[in-house]
């Protein structure tokens, strides 16, 4: 049977080109036998990845979540991850928790979000003071800071990536430089937010250079999805988090 060990489902923003290759890179069938990955697109109109209209697209994805979950649930995943960090920032802590509970009841499937995975990862690493880097607008990045603080984390520094205006045009090199620029000595870890910015290729080198944990939305999603299904096999090469149970 496909996914006899764990069947992981991910709901993606419609234009996101990053999640599928990064998830597949971290969980190749050769090294994680019995784990299968399944993807479905969320519903939003407008220019994918553009900072203009981001709030409207976020609302559209939330409004259509029920049907998106219903479609992905047809492959009977063990867990479904809403793979869009900024959705959580828009919703806020209480609304996000209520939404996940309702979707889990309706689908009969365990539900989580990219941000919930990040929060769990930070707790597993035992860190409270973090530096935040994001590819969003300054306003959305500030929402991310507030959301982290609502969950009990102290954001000692935060900044958004200065780019041409489309998240999906960003590169791993930009993610690397962003992490270096937001880091502060008092930060216990660096968090790179956003599932559309390529990050997993630079997590290991960032940890070597900064001498502290560096996590990204995509790395945290893979870690939490596997652990939620009882798969505790370490995945080396993508930072400390993915080697932990």
**19 shares its domain with 108:** yes
Asked if residues 107 and 52 have their Cβ atoms less than 8 Å apart, the reply is: no
Residue 147 lies in a domain: yes
- What is the C-alpha separation between 133 and 14, in angstroms, rounded? 23
Residue 27 lies in a domain: yes
Please provide the average confidence, as pLDDT, over all residues in the chain.
Answer: 95
pTM: 0.95
**107 shares its domain with 223:** yes
Quick one: which of 37, 43, 49 has its CA closest to 81? 37
Residue 86 lies in a domain: yes
Q: Which residues pair with 12 in a beta bridge?
A: 41
In this structure, what DSSP letter does residue 18 have?
A: S
Residue 1 lies in a domain: no
Q: Is the dihedral of CA 70, 135, 234, 22 positive or negative?
A: positive
User: What one-character-per-residue DSSP string does 197-212 give?
Assistant: S--GGGHHHHHHHHSS
pLDDT of residue 88: 94
CATH of the domain at 37: 3.40.50.12500
Could you tell me where the DSSP H helices lie in 27-109?
Answer: 54-63, 65-72, 85-91, 93-107
**152 shares its domain with 164:** yes
pLDDT digits (tens, 9 = 90+) for 147-196: 999 999 999 999 999 876 899 999 999 999 999 999 999 999 999 999 99
**201 shares its domain with 150:** yes
Residue 94 lies in a domain: yes
Query: Containing domain of residue 39, as a range?
Result: 6-114+219-243
**16 shares its domain with 99:** yes
**64 shares its domain with 180:** no
Give percent above pLDDT 70 in the chain: 100
**169 shares its domain with 95:** no
Residue 14 pLDDT > 80 = yes
**168 shares its domain with 88:** no
**132 shares its domain with 15:** no
pLDDT of residue 164: 63
Helix (H) or strand (E) holding 36: strand 35-41
Residue 55 pLDDT > 90 = no
User: What one-character-per-residue DSSP string does 89-155 give?
Assistant: HHH-HHHHHHHHHHHHHHHTSEEEEHHHHHHHHHHHHT--EEEEEESS-HHHHHHHHHHHHHTT-EE
């Amino acid at each position: 049977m496909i996914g006899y060990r764990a069947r992981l489902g991910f709901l993606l923003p419609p234009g996101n080109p990053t999640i599928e290759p990064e998830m597949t890179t971290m969980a190749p069938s050769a090294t994680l036998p019995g784990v299968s990955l399944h993807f479905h697109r969320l519903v939003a109109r407008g220019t994918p990845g553009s900072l203009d209209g981001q709030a409207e697209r976020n609302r559209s994805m939330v409004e259509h979540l029920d049907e998106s979950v219903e479609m992905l649930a047809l492959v009977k995943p063990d867990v479904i991850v809403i793979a869009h960090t900024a959705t959580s920032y828009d919703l806020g802590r209480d609304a996000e928790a209520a939404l996940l509970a309702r979707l889990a009841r309706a689908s009969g499937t365990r539900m989580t979000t990219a941000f919930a995975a990040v929060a769990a990862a930070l707790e597993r690493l035992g860190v409270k003071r973090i530096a935040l880097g994001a590819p969003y607008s300054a306003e959305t990045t500030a929402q991310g800071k507030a959301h982290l603080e609502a969950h009990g984390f102290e954001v000692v520094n935060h900044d958004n990536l200065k780019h041409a205006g489309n998240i999906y045009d960003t590169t791993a090199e930009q993610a690397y430089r962003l992490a270096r620029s937001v880091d502060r000595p008092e930060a216990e870890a660096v968090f790179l937010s956003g599932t559309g910015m390529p990050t997993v290729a630079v997590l290991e080198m960032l940890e070597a250079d900064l001498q502290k944990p560096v996590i990204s939305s995509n790395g945290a999603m893979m870690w939490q999805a596997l652990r939620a299904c009882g798969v505790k096999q370490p995945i080396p090469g993508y930072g400390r988090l993915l080697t932990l149970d």
